[in-house]
Amino acid sequence: MSELRAGKCRSPIAELKGVTPLKSVIGNRHFPICCSLLSLLLAPSLQAQRPDSALVAVVRDYTGLYTRATFDQWTRLFGPAFTSASTNPDGTITVRNLAQFLDAQRQGFARAREMREELANVRIEHQGRMASIWADFVFHYDGTPSNGKLVLLAVSDTLGWKFHSLIFSYDR
């Protein structure tokens, strides 16, 4: 400590010989090329995994099983703590737990002659046992299409992939 107070202790960085100061490196015309090469080397470790076939199947079943006839199968895609949130035209947000969400869908099928959903521009980001699914959607209700955007979060456990939450908004 006395050496530090007396100014005799030098920084380990000061002891490095032949190291170019950062200002000189950033100003070097090769710096952008080096950064690009470094990012290419690191990119595979930072990228999301390719979604596994079971995850892709669950995403496909989200719309494929969304029918009156297969509704009971569709309900099994959701985990017990599932929540949904949707934006409303007045600026409020509707949040539903799993029972409320499924009841709203059940009521819709009971009232509608036709009710279905299509996904487009689906983007799946898969990291370990978690995944996010971003998509545009078209919700059809008695022949009237409504466009919007959604995000589904999915988690995998010993039983497979389940949807944990859904956030959606209609284009207005």
- Do 103 and 147 share a domain, yes or no? yes
- Do 61 and 41 share a domain, yes or no? no
- Do 63 and 8 share a domain, yes or no? no
Taking the whole predicted model, whether its pTM rises above 0.75 is answered as: no
Instruction: Give pLDDT tens digits for 80-117.
Output: 999 999 999 999 999 999 999 999 999 999 999 999 99
- Do 25 and 89 share a domain, yes or no? no
Backbone φ and ψ of 130, nearest 5°:
-125, 150
- Do 66 and 101 share a domain, yes or no? yes
Percent of the chain at pLDDT > 70 equals 72
Domain that holds residue 71: 53-170
Q: What is the pLDDT of residue 172?
A: 83
Q: What is the pLDDT of residue 116?
A: 97
- Do 65 and 124 share a domain, yes or no? yes
Distance (Å, whole) CA 170 – CA 149: 6
Residue whose C-alpha is closest to residue 150's, from 123, 138, 132, 168: 168
- Do 60 and 38 share a domain, yes or no? no
State which of 17-26, 29-38, 161-170 shows the largest mean pLDDT.
161-170
- Do 67 and 13 share a domain, yes or no? no
Backbone φ and ψ of 61, nearest 5°:
-70, -20
Measured from the Cβ of residue 94, the count of other Cβ atoms closer than 10 Å reads 12
List beta partners, residue 78: 163
Q: Above 80 in pLDDT, residue 3?
A: no
- Do 20 and 57 share a domain, yes or no? no
Domain count of the chain? 2
Q: Hey, what are 61's tokens?
A: 């079943």
Measured from the Cβ of residue 84, the count of other Cβ atoms closer than 10 Å reads 22
CB 159 within 8 A of CB 77: no
Average pLDDT score, the chain: 82
Q: Hey, what are 87's tokens?
A: 């934006």
Q: What is the CATH number of the domain that holds 59?
A: 3.10.450.50
Q: Above 50 in pLDDT, residue 45?
A: no
Q: What is the pLDDT of residue 28?
A: 54
- Do 99 and 159 share a domain, yes or no? yes
Distance (Å, whole) CA 61 – CA 31: 48
The domain boundary, picked from 10, 25, 46, lies at: 46
Instruction: Give pLDDT tens digits for 124-144.
Output: 999 999 999 999 999 999 999
- Do 34 and 83 share a domain, yes or no? no
- Do 62 and 13 share a domain, yes or no? no
* Rg over CA atoms, the chain: 26
